[in-house]
């Protein structure tokens, strides 16, 4: 019996050593891949900054596009990008969070909800051009919204909606069941539990998922080209704020527009090397905006986690 016990103990130690060795190999491989990805991103970013450095300045941000490279700017492009992102977040956030709350807190666990969950997850991997074709047929032609800011915002909202739903579900699922049970024990209704306990504790993860989704949407080109964004535009959309009551103007939603990826595409397609410098400068600014949004996501998540004491 002692010999059998020693044999079992030796085999167990061998398995544990092998498992620890595999853990170390996995950690080292993961760190190598992470550093290689970050290094590649840093090289690309600094290459864009180096190439576009001659155009960095207020004139580049405040000038309209021009046929002369030295006078061209990205004013209409970054304003259009901001307005499209505004529509995107106003549509994707409430719908995505509401869908996540329903699937996690209210939906019965049956075959129908399983099909919905599978399709939501699969939609996150659909190529963006498919969303562009869908938006062209639905928003531009069927609903008659035309090639406008609202069509672009709705298109990108559809694009990031699966990301928002999945991230929001994970954040809601991470809230311990004991919090729900304690609230139910005190007589709270399901909505009160969701509103007063689940959502506050999961807000950090929800906002992180939303900002990550917007970080993807801000650089999308294919769906915006598909619905007919202008490649050259030398005017701004109508201001969303007016000087008269009710001080809000919605006519800008139907205005034509361009965005920064489209402007970059326009410049890159020109043979003049000076326009390549403009495209590099615009790319560096766009990448900086994306990194800033991801940094905001990390900061928001950190702040919410600091306020929560489980």
pLDDT tens digits, 247-272: 777 888 888 888 888 888 888 888 88
**pLDDT score for 32:** 92
pLDDT for residue 182: 86
pLDDT at 95: 92
Identify the pLDDT of residue 228: 74
In order, the DSSP letters of 246-297 are T-B--GGGGS----HHHHHHHHHTSS-HHHHHHHHHHHHHHHHHHHHHHHHH
> pTM of the entire structure?
0.82
Cβ atoms of residues 240 and 115 within 8 Å: no
pLDDT score of 1: 56
Sequence-ordered list of residues with C-beta below 8 angstroms from that of 97, at least 6 positions apart, any chain: 164, 168, 206
Per-run averaged pLDDT (10 residues), the chain, 310 residues: 58 73 87 90 85 85 84 86 90 91 86 84 84 87 86 90 90 86 84 86 84 84 80 77 75 85 86 86 86 78 67
Please report the pLDDT score of residue 98 as a whole number.
Answer: 92
């Amino acid at each position: 019996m002692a010999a059998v016990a020693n044999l079992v103990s030796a085999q167990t130690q061998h398995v544990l050593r092998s498992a620890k060795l595999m853990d170390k190999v996995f950690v080292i491989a993961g760190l190598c891949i992470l550093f290689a990805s970050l290094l590649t991103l840093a090289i690309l970013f600094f290459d864009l900054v180096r190439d576009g450095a001659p155009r960095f300045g207020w004139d580049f941000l405040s000038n309209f596009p021009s046929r002369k490279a030295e006078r061209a700017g990205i004013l209409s492009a970054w304003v259009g990008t901001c307005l499209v992102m505004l529509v995107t977040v106003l549509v994707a956030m409430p719908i995505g969070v509401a869908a996540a709350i329903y699937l996690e807190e209210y939906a019965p666990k049956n075959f129908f909800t399983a099909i919905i969950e599978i399709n939501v997850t699969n939609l996150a991997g659909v190529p963006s051009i498919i969303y562009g074709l869908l938006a062209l047929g639905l928003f531009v032609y069927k609903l008659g919204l035309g090639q406008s800011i609202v069509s672009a915002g709705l298109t990108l909202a559809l694009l990031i909606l699966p990301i928002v739903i999945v991230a929001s579900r994970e954040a809601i699922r991470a809230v311990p069941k004991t919090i729900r049970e304690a609230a139910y024990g005190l007589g709270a209704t399901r909505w009160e539990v969701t509103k007063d306990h689940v959502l506050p504790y999961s807000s950090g993860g929800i906002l992180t998922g939303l900002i990550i989704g917007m970080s993807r949407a801000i650089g999308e080109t294919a769906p915006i080209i598909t619905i007919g964004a202008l490649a050259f535009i030398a005017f701004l959309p109508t201001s969303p704020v007016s000087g008269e009551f009710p001080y809000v103007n919605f006519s800008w939603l139907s205005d034509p527009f361009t965005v920064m990826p489209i402007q970059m595409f326009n410049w890159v397609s020109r043979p003049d090397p000076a326009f390549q410098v403009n495209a590099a400068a615009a790319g560096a600014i766009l990448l900086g905006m994306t990194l800033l949004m991801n940094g905001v996501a990390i900061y928001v998540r950190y702040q919410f986690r600091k306020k929560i004491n489980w």
